[in-house]
Amino acid sequence: MFSAKGSLPNSLQSLNDRVWKEWYPGEGQKYQRNGNAMLEVYAAGDMQSPDYECGIWIPLQEKV
């Protein structure tokens, strides 16, 4: 799971950019997607708070 902290939608958009433009082209090449689902995870609370936490869950497995 990849996590972000900050108000929505900016924190989640920034996290998506970091995952797919930074992590995946480098470290992410060691993994392959395991399934079609990708989940956005939202905590309870004020989504506009600078302390709000959310995340993205992507099922991955190591490449063989």
- Domain locations in the chain as residue ranges: 2-62
For 52-61, the pLDDT digits (tens) are 999 999 999 9
**Percentage with pLDDT > 70 across the chain:** 100
From the centroid of its chain, how far is CA 38? 9
Q: Which two tokens stand for residue 11?
A: 């924190």
> How confident is the model at residue 22, as a pLDDT?
96
CATH architecture, range 2-62: Alpha-Beta Barrel (3.20)
Give the Å distances, CA to CA, from 61 to 14, 29, 30, 31, 42: 24, 11, 9, 5, 23
